[in-house]
Amino acid sequence: MASELLFKCRFSDSGRGFGFAEILEENGKEDIFIAPDDTMGAMTGDTVLVHKFRRGEAGYTRGNEGQVTKILERGNTEVIGTLYLQGIHGIVRPDNEKLHTEISVRGTDLAQARPGDKVAVRITDYGKRRRGEFIVPPEGFITAVFGRADTKEANYAAILHKNGVPTHFSDEVIWEAEDMASRPITEAGRTDLRDLPTLTIDGADAKDLDDAISLEKLADGWRLYVHIADVSEYVKEGGEVDREAYARGTSVYFVDKVVPMLPVALSNGSCSLNGGEDRWALTAIIDFDAAGNPTAYDFKKTLIRSDVRGVYTEVNDLFENGRDSAFAAKYAPVLDMLFHMQTLYGVLRRAADVRGQLNLESTEAKILLDDKGIAVDIVPRQRGEAEMLIEQFMLAANVAAATWLNGRGLPCLYRIHEDPLPEKIRAFAEFAHNMDLDVSGVTEGVSPRRLGQVLEQAKEKDIAEVVSGVMLRSLAKAKYHEKPAGHYGLALPLYCHFTSPIRRYPDLFVHRAISHSLDPSKRRPAHPAESARVSSEAEVRAVTAERQIEDLYMAQYCSAHIGEEFDGVISSVCSFGIFVRTEKLFEGLIPVELLFSRRDTAVYNEMTMTLRAGSRIYRLGDPIRVRVAQAEVATGRIDLEPSEAIAEEKAPTAQKRHGRSHVGEKKSFGGKRGESSKRSGHGEHRGKRPGSNRRGGGRRGNPKGNRRAK
């Protein structure tokens, strides 16, 4: 067996005996077909070693074929599903339909679970297969019982459990946090900035206010102060709170709750920059010239007092109505400064556009709940000038922190976003060309500015949101790293996260490094490489959990609207059907068998992202009217079907293209709306929950797709 024919792969079970293995090496481009006799009992998600047959060696198919030679790592050691009884034994039917098997549980291992309960089961034996079929099913024991499988509460708890999101702090962590939070706040060793006009700007219901801003107008520019809660003064490296924060990595933001990284005594107490209260801060001081170019950076340990607790909607009203705003009196102590901030924001935004920062189009969903916690509506989340102002100011502070530490050779957890892979850019260019966009120069090494020009064309054609979704999947994932590698989407050579130490561990790491640079007696943060890896993994866990909880609420909303029709846009096209994102911002699947006549054979073209049979064609971005057929809260799955008019008379054709049923909203790579108000969003500056439009990009229809590029 030639070594060059051995590949490390991720296995996927087809459910029909055979499977496919996705090559994990960077140069791997195609899946490998695995015949029923050659799976070696692998299950979906397993990491396997595959021998790839030479062309024609096996003869099952005309494509790549191989044989699993070793299971390197099991992808499913614990499975979430619903318990059923079979005699005195139980069987767990996994929520993940791709596992294509049930797990047997002995009567003594049921952990008092009842039939119909949502449970977690630890697999102890992976069973036996013959010709790809299980002749002895996998076996395990129940490790957790979440409640009745048809309830939102049980599924909510199961998602948190599956993604390793802890919901409680130990007594030791709480005691230490409360002890540290009770320390008296003094000005010893700090620069007193309490006389500097200062305000916070957040959502109306925000409780953890970790950033405040001040501004001075200079003769030839501005001096911006970004005050960030000095969490490193409270959370000491190696303590109980620090170990817990390191393990959590990030706060997790759901529709109706927050799972914080730090206990409330710190996150909502001594580290929250509440109006009228003295607080310790680590302040970034940045001078800008008239063109918005930073000319000087400084950092200081400070004592601040916020004069006004600002709210986005109020500040937006001020920006729109000026001194005639109903909120002018409340903001009187900082009103002139706010208008100078508005001017500086405009200058910085233009500078970002000149630099080539990518501004993707997306519409983020806001799920509204009634007093019983039931999803009753889904509306577009609004983002005004105040949100984007904070976004730009926080981005500037993040750049300042990365530049400061890099220039001093100190450890930092950089936020890096690598250049897109050549094959991804080629695929995007072909897609964009098929959408009648000019893609000259969109080749290997393409600049973010050039991609931005493609987005501008798409905006003119009213297809910006669709093109943005495909572009996002063509980009690399942003991550943390101990070495600087630039941020492609922001078009910046140095970048890190500094502005959200209450919510993100990498920011706390950066604070400790800056504090050490100001006072070498303070401990220098250790193990940047390991911290970067753990933080990146924690971010993925949080995003996955947030996504699944949102799917749960979307399905709950749709379950009350079965049979109702909505206008939508095709958000993803795949061989088994199309995904449609509706005017209410939920996404669902229309299976291929509902799109065409039974006598027609559908042909899927991955390059043009079309599904065609006869004269009927479905294309990414086409408008379509759909009906809600089914919604399953347990899995977050929404099934749609074409409305009768569309299915029988008005099916999209090759000539009917580029329509949209709703208007997208610009979202910046640096956006706080991206990471916006503390409930959602995920730009590159402030640390609010990630929320770029994951559905619009068609993540289900492209399982290899890349949702996050920040």
**Domains of the chain: which residue ranges?**
3-73, 78-148, 419-475
As a whole-number percent, the residues of the chain with pLDDT over 90 amount to 68
Distance in Å from the first CA to the final CA of the chain: 42
3-class state of residue 473 by DSSP: helix
Which pLDDT value is given to residue 121? 95
* pLDDT for the residue numbered 61: 53
Element of type H or E holding 407: helix 385-407
Q: What is the pTM of this model?
A: 0.86
3 state DSSP class of 262? coil
Residue 647 in this model has a pLDDT that exceeds 50: no
d(CA 205, CA 192): 29
Distance CA 220, CA 209 (A): 31
Alpha-carbon span 520 to 511, nearest angstrom? 13
Whether residue 244 has pLDDT greater than 60? yes
Whole-number Å distance between alpha carbons of 45 and 20: 11
pLDDT for residue 669 is more than 80: no
Q: What is the pLDDT of residue 587?
A: 96
Q: What integer pLDDT is reported at residue 3 of this predicted model? A: 52
Range scoring the smallest mean pLDDT among 75-79, 127-131, 350-354: 127-131
CA distance 386 to 672: 10
CB 402 within 8 A of CB 484: yes
Average pLDDT value for residue range 565-585:
93
Q: Which residue type, as a one-letter code, is found at position 384?
A: G
Average pLDDT over residues 352-374: 91
pLDDT for 170: 96
pLDDT score at 559: 95
Determine the pLDDT at residue 615.
84
Q: Is the pLDDT of residue 367 over 80?
A: yes
Q: Determine the average pLDDT of the residues in 158-171.
A: 93
pLDDT band for 59, please (50, 70, 90 cuts): low
Give the CB-side neighbour count of residue 71, counting CA atoms within 13 A.
Answer: 16
- Identify the pLDDT of residue 374: 93
Q: Is the dihedral of CA 198, 201, 204, 209 positive or negative?
A: negative
SS3 79: strand
Predicted confidence band at 4 (pLDDT cuts at 50, 70, 90)?
Answer: low
Could you check whether 3-73 and 78-148 share the same CATH topology? yes
Which pLDDT does position 133 carry in this prediction? 76
Question: What's the pLDDT tens digit per position in 289-318?
Answer: 999 999 999 999 999 999 999 999 999 999
Q: Quick one: pLDDT at residue 13?
A: 86
Contacting residues for 277 by C-beta, under 8 A, at least 6 apart: 305, 306
* Helix and strand totals (H; E) in the chain: 13, 35
Higher-confidence position of 338 and 710: 338
pLDDT in tens, 274-283: 999 999 999 9
Q: Specify the CATH number of the domain 78-148.
A: 2.40.50.690
CB atoms within 10 A of CB 321: 12
- The Cα–Cα gap between 557 and 539 comes to 27
What is the sign, positive or negative, of the torsion defined by CA atoms of 116, 118, 121, 126? Answer: positive
Rounded Cα distance, 511 and 506, in Å: 9
Fold type of domain 3-73: OB fold (Dihydrolipoamide Acetyltransferase, E2P) (2.40.50)
pLDDT in tens, 19-45: 889 888 755 557 888 888 888 889 899
Reduced to 3 states (helix: H, G, I; strand: E, B; else coil), residue 526 is coil
Mean pLDDT of the chain: 87
